[in-house]
Structure 1
Amino acid sequence: MDHVIFKIPPLPVLITCGEGVFKTGEKHVEREYSVFDLLYVIKGELFLTEGGKPFRVAEGEYIILIPGLEHYGHRGCLEDTHYFWLHFQEEAYELADQGGENWTVLKLEHGTFETPPLYSLRLPRKGKVDQKAFIEKQFRSLLDDSAENSDLPLRKQLLFEELLIHLQKEAFRIPSANERVAAEAQRYIDRHYKEKLSMDQLSAALHYHQDYITRCMQKVFGQTPGQYANKARIHEAKRLLSVTNDKMSSIAEQVGIDDPTYFSKLFKQMEGMSPVEYRRMIKRNIE
């Protein structure tokens, strides 16, 4: 039974969610919930057994644990493993061996003037997502309880429903036009972020208007092309800081940033510490 099927409406209801870390060697405790438990691995991997069946959930993968089935970690994590967890409720569900191949199979009944149409979600119990940035952005929004977003508690169910629908779309592997453009931009930036990359260059390479590329990336990844490129640059900078003794100016240049001062400012903004502090911390941990 590799898929779980929900008849909608109504959609499953969000209960609560959170973020956790299993340190190297730690494993999930033995539990049994009366509600669904969705686990998404941000980094690392989890080793879980549910109902006697073992699963390995790697980075960018999720698992939906079924109510009433005991689950536990059958092996300790091989590295520090970061994950999101989410509990939701839906009493009417089925388990099936197969899902669906397209949206048409999800429509079960036509509606009338007084009754809504009936659909189903057919989600893999364990799946891999392509659009990690979108999924992680949804989880971050669900976890955001800041006072500035006073309406967020009322909107969290909507965010959760968007997440479920996105997982269904991922299961079909049918990219939208926005996703295709965003994926093209992502691949191009991944190849060229170390260069003096500009929006003009990106637009010319992909043959789309700059504004359209930006809208697509914001919708799919929650980031502009510039933000995505900077994230890639800082990720590479962290690697260089860890494995080389190069000067900050050299590292900045290697990741496509001309100004070392701006590089240090951007690094601190994204990582919460300066490049020098990061290198010192890494060296200390290694020693």
Structure 2
Amino acid sequence: MSFLEFTVPPFPVFIAAGEGTFKKGETHVRRVFPVFDLLYVKKGVLYITEDENAFSVEAGEYILLSPGLEHYGTKGSEETTSYSWLHFEGTAYEVTETTGNNWAELRRKKGSFEEPARYRLSLPQKGKVRRPQFMAGQFSVLTDDSAENSDLPLRKQILFEELLLHLQKEAFQIPSAKERVAWEAARYLQEHYQEKTTIKALSSALHYNQDYVTRCMQQVLGVTPGQYTNKVRMTEAKRLLSATNDKMGAIADAIGMEDPTYFSKLFKQIEGITPLEYRKFVSRKTD
């Protein structure tokens, strides 16, 4: 995989953004552009060639085209293809085949009281967007020209920089502090679901404040520690219901729940049917 690598600061500068559509059979124009062109496909497949390298960019993917290189549609669209585009101007860049995989490796030069630190901004030439809702939100503002007499044009540069940093983070799967805490908590709960886990025990094991752990899990995974534990327990319960003839009390005990009645109630609340109904349903499918 090729990466376009910039030294920041200064960051590349946002120029303009918009939306486009290729109808069935239409192709991208042939041209040499003086600025960077980021194309994010929302629907369909974009067939494009840059410097004799052909790419198929599917929905949820983007491609970053470099200035001074000819690009053109490789062939006509096989279906209606909609995309967002973004033009920006950048300082000197280089094309590399490898890059760092954590924030520490992305620092080029340590800063001082008189000079800023220098970092590598490294973006795959073609990448998959893992959070399309984030891209949709950024582009909705970057393409908004209804408030040109406000501070929006200045804020677009900030949103653009956030977009680039997000793409780098997704490409190298560099977790944020909240993501690390949420995943550590999830891993702990997966390993200790058979025990009587408490938020106090969880926060003590991770060495983080109880409220902070809960907030991290809610923001990253959308659930509290208790809700996550219950999901893990119900997943294991379904496995036991389908693979064994154990009674409800034995299954409840195996997943760390002392009360079989509460287990059955919780199972129905989460899965929509009782444990016995689930067992009958699974047995019918395997007959």
Same fold (TM over 0.5): yes
Larger Rg: 2
In structure 1, the partner of 2:154 is: 154
Ranges in structure 2 where 5+ consecutive residues have no aligned partner: 184-212, 223-287
RMSD across aligned positions (CA): 2.5
What pairs with 1:61-140 in structure 2 (closer than 5 Å)? 61-140=61-140
Contact persistence 1:99–1:123 (CA under 8 A):
no
Instruction: State how far apart, in whole Å, the 1-side matches of 2:50 and 2:177 are.
Output: 37
Instruction: State how far apart, in whole Å, the 1-side matches of 2:117 and 2:84 are.
Output: 33
Identity of aligned residues (%): 56
In structure 1, the partner of 2:50 is: 50
Q: Cα distance 1:35–1:209, how it changes in 2: closer, same or farther (>3 A)?
A: same
User: Secondary structure in 1 aligned to 2:31?
Assistant: coil
Ranges in structure 1 where 5+ consecutive residues have no aligned partner: 183-207, 219-287
User: Secondary structure in 2 aligned to 1:10?
Assistant: coil
In structure 1, the partner of 2:8 is: 8
What pairs with 1:1-287 in structure 2 (closer than 5 Å)? 2-147=2-147, 150-176=150-176, 213=218, 216=220
By how many angstroms is 1:80 displaced?
0.7
By how many angstroms is 1:90 displaced?
1.0
Which whole-Å deviations, capped at 9, do the CAs of 1:215-254 have from their partners, x for residues lacking one?
A: 5589xxxxxxxxxxxxxxxxxxxxxxxxxxxxxxxxxxxx
Instruction: State how far apart, in whole Å, the 2-side matches of 1:91 and 1:162 are.
Output: 18
User: Secondary structure in 2 aligned to 1:154?
Assistant: helix
The number of equivalent residue pairs is: 192
By how many angstroms is 1:177 displaced?
6.1
Instruction: State how far apart, in whole Å, the 2-side matches of 1:217 and 1:142 are.
Output: 28
Contact persistence 2:51–2:69 (CA under 8 A):
yes
Which whole-Å deviations, capped at 9, do the CAs of 1:69-128 have from their partners, x for residues lacking one?
A: 000001111111110101101131111112322212110111111000011111101111
Q: Cα distance 1:47–1:97, how it changes in 2: closer, same or farther (>3 A)?
A: same
Contact persistence 1:34–1:67 (CA under 8 A):
yes
In structure 2, the partner of 1:237 is: none
User: Secondary structure in 2 aligned to 1:159?
Assistant: helix
- In structure 2, give the amino acid aligned to 1:16: A
What's the TM-score once normalised by structure 1's chain length? 0.62
By how many angstroms is 1:150 displaced?
2.4
Which whole-Å deviations, capped at 9, do the CAs of 1:193-228 have from their partners, x for residues lacking one?
A: xxxxxxxxxxxxxxx969973x5589xxxxxxxxxx
User: Secondary structure in 1 aligned to 2:5?
Assistant: strand
Contact persistence 1:38–1:65 (CA under 8 A):
yes
Q: Cα distance 1:36–1:217, how it changes in 2: closer, same or farther (>3 A)?
A: farther
In structure 1, the partner of 2:200 is: none
Which whole-Å deviations, capped at 9, do the CAs of 1:149-191 have from their partners, x for residues lacking one?
A: 8221110000000000000101111343656869xxxxxxxxx
Spell out structure 1 runs of 4+ moving beyond 2 A: 145-150, 174-182, 208-213, 215-218
Contact persistence 1:3–1:96 (CA under 8 A):
yes
Instruction: State how far apart, in whole Å, the 2-side matches of 1:91 and 1:176 are.
Output: 27
Contact persistence 2:103–2:174 (CA under 8 A):
no
Contact persistence 1:6–1:92 (CA under 8 A):
yes
Instruction: State how far apart, in whole Å, the 2-side matches of 1:211 and 1:4 are.
Output: 32
Instruction: State how far apart, in whole Å, the 1-side matches of 2:38 and 2:172 are.
Output: 19
Instruction: State how far apart, in whole Å, the 2-side matches of 1:153 and 1:92 are.
Output: 24
Instruction: State how far apart, in whole Å, the 1-side matches of 2:108 and 2:215 are.
Output: 41
By how many angstroms is 1:24 displaced?
1.1
What's the TM-score once normalised by structure 2's chain length? 0.62
Contact persistence 1:99–1:124 (CA under 8 A):
no
